Amino acid sequence: MRRIGCAWNADSRWTMQTVVLLLALAVLGVKGAIDDKMEGLISFPDESDVCTFQPGWDGVCQSAASCSWTKLLIYKRYDIPHCDFIDDEPIMCCPKNLTGVELAIKLSESVPSLSYLTEQINKGEPIELPFIAAVGWEKEENPERNESSYQWECGGSLITPSYLLTAAHCVRDISKKYHARMGASDLANDDKTNIQYCPIKKTIKHPDFHPGKKQNDIALAKVQKPFHLHQLVARVSLPTSLENEDEIMKLSVAGWGRTERRARSEKLLHANVTTVPISKCREAYKGSKVILNTHYCAIGEAGNGIEIGDACGGDSGGPLYTTSYISGILKYQLIGIISYGVNCGSPWPGVYVRVSSYLDWIASHLRGEVLELVQLNN
């Protein structure tokens, strides 16, 4: 079950009988090694008892057949804590399903620290941002697989080595072969040393995504091969709490979208924005779009009193994020996803997907990913 290139070379079809047998073999040695004389002195947890799956992650003692995690745990070769045997059937410590906030916390805890690196961004400034990916598709007419082989139209944010978070409307065309690019902020840079290209093998759009209304405009994109993480390719933390919808925050946006000259930028740009209360945003979009509590609205800061820095066409799917320094360590947190707006740099606020509103949905698709990251982190 080793990874070769961008594919798996193992058959993942497991029967429950096989799973139970493997689990039994894994824990039989531990249980069987207990001397008969100690049977009365050692107490094993009973079925349905709370157990510790791993530090900071509780579980429940269950049979292997009834635990929804069993196949995944064995497939990932996880060291499964056991509780007891009942009639020779292994009772394992089955991890409880994580809530969205719990998943965000676990992912954030496993994000390595970084040292400082020198549908849109208007009045933006060049920036290095190691968690952002360019998302686009391969051009059929150019099989050379160089920079000119791709059409980059959106952004995305790396939340695990294999998963990007982006806007659903960026990956809705099933006829396109989507790819992601990371490792260099300049799209004109074709340096093979740091740049990583990877096909997107699966996209998971929110089931309630509405293209016309741009509601639930969020998607997960799984790349064929995990990105190799280093200083120029890193994961971003997810929000670990539900923010007040009317809280005013100063944030940043980033992307390769159109500039104030209406030309696409080859360099990654960023701009500072301030959130707008949902009530005011609804007034601004009254009669055209429905603004929900699952949205953020934000407006750019004026540059020299002339233009407003904002997101523009081509920035969709990119991050609305915070930057903080904790004890000299740089930390990024993904707050929103660029969705849409009205005219670049206009007084109208841009509309963003509020990531914290979708943590439970994200968690439902990332069980294996968080399991692997937590295992590596311990």
Which residues are known to be catalytic? 169, 217, 316
For residues 297 and 279, what is the distance between their CA atoms, to the nearest angstrom?
10
Whole-angstrom CA distances from 12 to 19, 64, 72 are 12, 17, 10
Dihedral in degrees, nearest 10, Cα atoms 119, 296, 131, 97 = -130
Dihedral in degrees, nearest 10, Cα atoms 7, 54, 99, 332 = -70
| DSSP assignment of 174-228 | TTS-EEEEES-SBTT---TTT-EEEEEEEEEE-TT-BTTTTBS--EEEEESSPPP
DSSP state of 144: T
Q: Is 155 helix (H, G, I), strand (E, B) or coil?
A: strand
Residue with tokens 């903080």: 324
Of the candidates 297, 316, 296, 294, the residue with the CA atom closest to the CA atom of residue 360: 294
| DSSP assignment of 269-337 | EEEEEEEE-HHHHHHHTTTT----TTEEEEEEPEETTTEE-B--TT-TT-EEEEEEEETTEEEEEEEEE
DSSP state of 107: H
β strands within 35-162, DSSP E: 50-54, 57-63, 82-86, 89-95, 125-126, 132-138, 150-160
- Token pair of 228, please? 């190799």
- Token pair of 12, please? 């993942």
Can you name the residues that pair with 324 across neighbouring β-strands? Answer: 331
- Token pair of 182, please? 């990371």
Q: How many helices (H) and strands (E) does the chain have?
A: 6, 21
